[in-house]
Structure 1
Amino acid sequence: MKKRVLTTLVMIPFLLFYAFGAEAAEKEEGSWQDELMYFIMVDRFNNGDASNDYSVNPEDPKAYHGGDLEGIIEKLDYIKDMGFTSIWITPIMENEPKGYHGYWISDFKEVEEHFGTMEDAKRLVDEAHKRDMKVVFDFVVNHTGYQHEWLTDPSKEDWFHEESRMVGNSQDQLENGWLAGLPDLNTENPEVKEYLFDAAEYWIDETGVDGFRLDTVKHVPKEFWSEFSDHVKSIDPDFFLMGEVWSEDPRYIAGYEEVGIDSFVDYPFFETATQVFKQPGQSVAELGKVWQRNEAFYEDPHSLGTFLDNHDNKRFTRLANEAKQNPITRWKLALTYMYTAPGMPIVYYGSEVPLDGGEDPDNRRIMNFKAGDEELKQHIEQLAAIRKKFPVLTQGSFEQVIDEGPFGVFKRTYEDEVAYIAINNSKETKSAVLGEVVEGEQLRGLIHDSIVRDNGNGEYEIGLDRETADVYIVEEDTGLNWIFFGVLALVMGSFVAFVVLISRKNKKSQPE
């Protein structure tokens, strides 16, 4: 009890600091660019129902490990408490043996028994919605599992493209070849198209899911995606479609906007951000160039899904370890940028621990909720709170105003809000002078609780320790906040009185 009271008293000044801070404009509702998404591989997250643990072997990285829909439901509050507003989960359709990841589908209209039942899927969406969280299902149309029953059904002989290895990167090869040997569905066939449209409608109607993450988009013709988008939007005009177009060329990815896909996972951001942040000394200007290209090529670049690792690539923790760096330090720096730069942040499950992992399947380790770093988890919570409070961090313009290689400052503007994101990716303390802040204003550092005022020459100098970052909001300089200091004095006086009282009670309880 004493510990709880002490903790509360110590925290009050910090809560007051934010309470008396700048008032932010009310956030617009309904825009996916405002979302913070937590990405979960169902089998590797949390085992909530042991009764569906069929042939589970946690020692085999290519076998089922026991995670299920009930396990996700149990952890929705855990996810929400970190500030996430939506979840994206890997496919839950019935898979053939060893299809723990969900991408070897054997039945497009059944829930995989290892994950639970359709009732569990409905309950997951319902429970998420009760918490004002959205749910995105992974949806596959390019292929089936290796041993799908359709392969031996004479009536469905033309449901697949002719078997061929995928060699080269021609669009014809991408769309007709068998990716990793998986049977490639002939989505040009009207019967196949109708079946997949019906499957999509089935999941929407049955569960009330908010969107699909579309797998392997570039391996399916654009004509299919255009019709698919029209179909799901006819069911729910607000239904969200996020495509995976695995490419480092933003022009190629942007070419799929025309088919009605709302957003894409931003692989060019991923490739650049992981290289910049895995170790100090890398220029942050490369990040600004990614945004400039996105702004030039996309109609809606703010809705792109930004990420630092996923189920197909090495964990960011592993990249930092390979560079002989402290993963916590590197994660904090990278996440600060991702949460405050344009785009919809997507955080892969376990990043808050942070989980380690190499190439697939090592990057899909079982989540360990007991082994975590509170410092990193609290940083994620803090970034989420900051991002939600200030619309400028989700909707504002973006430009680099200070470029000193590893040290850079980015400016965001939205209506009457102005923010500066300062990133020090170097091995030494850095500072910079901002001369464009309007007279009579100040900069409030939201992460390190600092105030920067005019130095008398119309300049504002910000400084950062090595490998740190901060987000500064421009606000009116009202001088000393006497209300704040008055309340602070009252709190500290109460704290001192409490300590004296406890000390006296302890003395009285001691034997003479």
Structure 2
Amino acid sequence: MRRAVFRLFLIPFLLFYALPVSAVEKEERNRQDEMIYFIMVDRFNNGDTSNDYEVDINNPKAYQGGDLKGITKKLDYIKDMGFTTIWLTPIFENEQEGYHGYWISDFKKIEEHFGTLKDLKELVNEAHKRNMKVILDFVVNHTGYQHEWLNDPSKKDWFHAQKEIKNWSNQEEVENGRLSGLPDLNQGNPEVREYLLETAKWWIEETDIDGYRLDTVKHVPKDFWTEFTREVKSVKEDFFLIGEVWDKDPRYIASYEKTNIDSFVDYPLYEELTTVFSEPDRPLTSLYNVWNRNAALYQSPNLLGTFLDNHDNVRFTRQAIQNQQHPGTRLKLALTYLYTAPGIPIVYYGTEIALDGGEDPDNRRLMNFRTDDVLVKHIEKLSEIRRNFKSLTNGNMELLYDQDGMAVFKRQFEEETTFIAINNTSKSQKVELDPAEIGQKQQLTGLLSGDIWQETNGKYEIVLDRESADVYNISEKTGLNIPLISVFITIPILFIIFIYLANKKGKKLQE
């Protein structure tokens, strides 16, 4: 009897989970489907204390213990948030206090503070088991300040003359001058070029990594990048290259597409994102203008890497605090836009816990895994939505409404349409949408809130609380959800029956 009642008890749950879902999981992952988690290796997680040489967690310019094993141990944490790719700061052997990885002393060795080649291979292997990719930061512009090549007479012409960049509008100075005093490699020298190309291919062949984030792209001649792209893709055809062209002019950044680098981090959008969302009552028009400009300038605007935080700038949390705002509230809005607008979202470690930080090196604090998970849950939900709706990764974008910080965007791809409503104001807002944008006898379902909006008096009304956002998909108007209502009515009844029969049988056994 108990078993029969238990089966009866399960039926409503089976019916509930058999209901059709609003979107279908993608069968294969394209580049624009990626969601990248960016990690500064030394500041993330200490998984192996045996390599803690001269570690000082109280000195922001010293090594603090993070390593490759620490990242491997946190892969599930990263995957559970929905990230499909991890990008690591340079892991190559560095000079003393080169915790960040950009003062390279040996391009073919792993920094001992981070672990071993075996540790890297294990990390890549474990990531691949989870259907995640690994991108390494790759530097070809310069070496560390004390590199042994500087004292080798046979390699004198491996470097450009010792000259700082003074005129940033002069491309020759930008490419040949020293950035922050770092010895500038001469990629025009055939030996230097061959060394860098062979090294880049060696790491792919040896570890099966999936891509490079290319550092300081504009400081290296374009003809080198064209050859670099061709060579690394000859090893692994789908190898992903995302370049850092740190500039405010999108036309200048877009000019590097000719080198066949797949993607670029979108610094112009970053400037607008952090300005718009670091305090309320700012209009979102500038964000839409960036998209329109990108769509006109880039061959693949959906592949641009979008971000709120990185290791070179003051953290978004600090900007919100300086504006006397609650960082969590502001981050929720900014992340919602980041995940639903065109581009590949890149989240810097610690953003998911609203980690604070000022100028370098304060923006590279140790990660804390024992904090509130409200933002983590928000990112998980945004990842799920982005994964399930192709219009958010492949679609075009249209601004339907924009007034004083309240905006509604429309994303459309083939037959699928989604709407993103963001209330970046300090009061509740109501927006009326024309049925022509949605269709007759349809309804909008909030994927973050669960709210349902139907046509009323010839309009679709959306109401959002202050400083909140939602993502809506279109579905046919259903009226009362009879199956769902049945579940909520039937389950308590069956539970009462189950308890009654169990008690009755218990009394008989006692007799």
TM-score of the superposed pair, with normalisation by structure 2? 0.93
Q: Alpha-carbon deviation of 1:20?
A: 4.1
C-alpha distance in structure 1 between counterparts of 2:162 and 2:427, whole Å:
56
The equivalent of 1:44 in structure 2 is 43
**Residues 18-60 of structure 1, C-alpha deviations (whole Å, 9 max, x = no match):** 9746532452524111011100000000000000001111111
Cα distance change of structure 1 residues 492 and 401 upon mapping to structure 2, 3 Å threshold: farther
The equivalent of 2:134 in structure 1 is 135
The residue type paired with residue 64 of structure 2 is H
Q: Is the 8 A contact 2:445 2:474 kept in 1?
A: yes
Secondary structure at 1:398's aligned position in 2?
Answer: strand
C-alpha distance in structure 1 between counterparts of 2:216 and 2:18, whole Å:
46
Cα distance change of structure 1 residues 116 and 484 upon mapping to structure 2, 3 Å threshold: same
C-alpha distance in structure 1 between counterparts of 2:57 and 2:90, whole Å:
20
Cα distance change of structure 1 residues 492 and 396 upon mapping to structure 2, 3 Å threshold: farther
Identity %: 60
Cα distance change of structure 1 residues 358 and 495 upon mapping to structure 2, 3 Å threshold: farther
The residue correspondences of 1:164-183 to structure 2 (distance < 5 A) are 164-169=163-168, 170-183=170-183
The equivalent of 1:270 in structure 2 is 270
The equivalent of 2:250 in structure 1 is 250
Cα distance change of structure 1 residues 43 and 495 upon mapping to structure 2, 3 Å threshold: farther
Instruction: Name whichever of 167-176 and 299-308 sits farther off.
Output: 167-176
The equivalent of 1:199 in structure 2 is 199
The residue correspondences of 1:383-402 to structure 2 (distance < 5 A) are 383-402=382-401
Cα distance change of structure 1 residues 163 and 500 upon mapping to structure 2, 3 Å threshold: farther
Q: Is the 8 A contact 1:419 1:472 kept in 2?
A: yes
C-alpha distance in structure 2 between counterparts of 1:334 and 1:18, whole Å:
32
The residue type paired with residue 308 of structure 2 is L
Instruction: Name whichever of 107-116 and 481-490 sits farther off.
Output: 481-490
C-alpha distance in structure 1 between counterparts of 2:15 and 2:407, whole Å:
30
Secondary structure at 1:135's aligned position in 2?
Answer: strand
Q: Does 1:307 align with 2:298?
A: no
Q: Is the 8 A contact 1:38 1:79 kept in 2?
A: yes
Secondary structure at 1:329's aligned position in 2?
Answer: helix
Cα distance change of structure 1 residues 50 and 171 upon mapping to structure 2, 3 Å threshold: same
Cα distance change of structure 1 residues 19 and 270 upon mapping to structure 2, 3 Å threshold: farther
The equivalent of 1:225 in structure 2 is 225
Q: Alpha-carbon deviation of 1:205?
A: 0.5
The residue correspondences of 1:321-340 to structure 2 (distance < 5 A) are 321-340=321-340
Q: Is the 8 A contact 2:63 2:99 kept in 1?
A: yes
Q: Is the 8 A contact 1:165 1:178 kept in 2?
A: yes
C-alpha distance in structure 2 between counterparts of 1:255 and 1:380, whole Å:
33
Q: Alpha-carbon deviation of 1:237?
A: 1.2
C-alpha distance in structure 2 between counterparts of 1:16 and 1:451, whole Å:
22
The residue correspondences of 1:99-138 to structure 2 (distance < 5 A) are 99-138=98-137
Q: Alpha-carbon deviation of 1:236?
A: 1.1
Secondary structure at 1:352's aligned position in 2?
Answer: helix
Cα distance change of structure 1 residues 288 and 359 upon mapping to structure 2, 3 Å threshold: same
TM-score of the superposed pair, with normalisation by structure 1? 0.92
C-alpha distance in structure 2 between counterparts of 1:165 and 1:268, whole Å:
25
Instruction: Name whichever of 386-395 and 296-305 sits farther off.
Output: 386-395
The equivalent of 1:509 in structure 2 is none
Cα distance change of structure 1 residues 385 and 227 upon mapping to structure 2, 3 Å threshold: same
Cα distance change of structure 1 residues 466 and 357 upon mapping to structure 2, 3 Å threshold: same
Instruction: Name whichever of 483-492 and 165-174 sits farther off.
Output: 483-492
The equivalent of 1:431 in structure 2 is 430
C-alpha distance in structure 2 between counterparts of 1:239 and 1:63, whole Å:
33
C-alpha distance in structure 1 between counterparts of 2:318 and 2:18, whole Å:
38
The equivalent of 1:154 in structure 2 is 153
Q: Is the 8 A contact 2:16 2:487 kept in 1?
A: no
Secondary structure at 1:453's aligned position in 2?
Answer: strand
The equivalent of 2:3 in structure 1 is none
Q: Alpha-carbon deviation of 1:463?
A: 0.6
C-alpha distance in structure 2 between counterparts of 1:17 and 1:431, whole Å:
32
Q: Alpha-carbon deviation of 1:484?
A: 1.6
C-alpha distance in structure 2 between counterparts of 1:380 and 1:25, whole Å:
20
The equivalent of 1:453 in structure 2 is 454
Q: Does 1:65 align with 2:64?
A: yes
Q: Alpha-carbon deviation of 1:374?
A: 1.8
C-alpha distance in structure 1 between counterparts of 2:388 and 2:335, whole Å:
17
The residue type paired with residue 448 of structure 1 is S
C-alpha distance in structure 1 between counterparts of 2:360 and 2:446, whole Å:
39
The residue type paired with residue 22 of structure 2 is E
Q: Is the 8 A contact 1:317 1:356 kept in 2?
A: yes
Mind listing any 5+ residue stretches in structure 1 that lack a counterpart? 1-8, 505-512
Cα distance change of structure 1 residues 479 and 38 upon mapping to structure 2, 3 Å threshold: same
Secondary structure at 1:454's aligned position in 2?
Answer: strand
The residue type paired with residue 367 of structure 2 is M
Cα distance change of structure 1 residues 446 and 351 upon mapping to structure 2, 3 Å threshold: same
Cα distance change of structure 1 residues 461 and 17 upon mapping to structure 2, 3 Å threshold: farther
Q: Alpha-carbon deviation of 1:490?
A: 2.6
**Residues 272-308 of structure 1, C-alpha deviations (whole Å, 9 max, x = no match):** 0000000001111111011001101000000101000
**Residues 488-507 of structure 1, C-alpha deviations (whole Å, 9 max, x = no match):** 22335467789999xx9xxx
C-alpha distance in structure 1 between counterparts of 2:269 and 2:496, whole Å:
50
The equivalent of 1:79 in structure 2 is 78
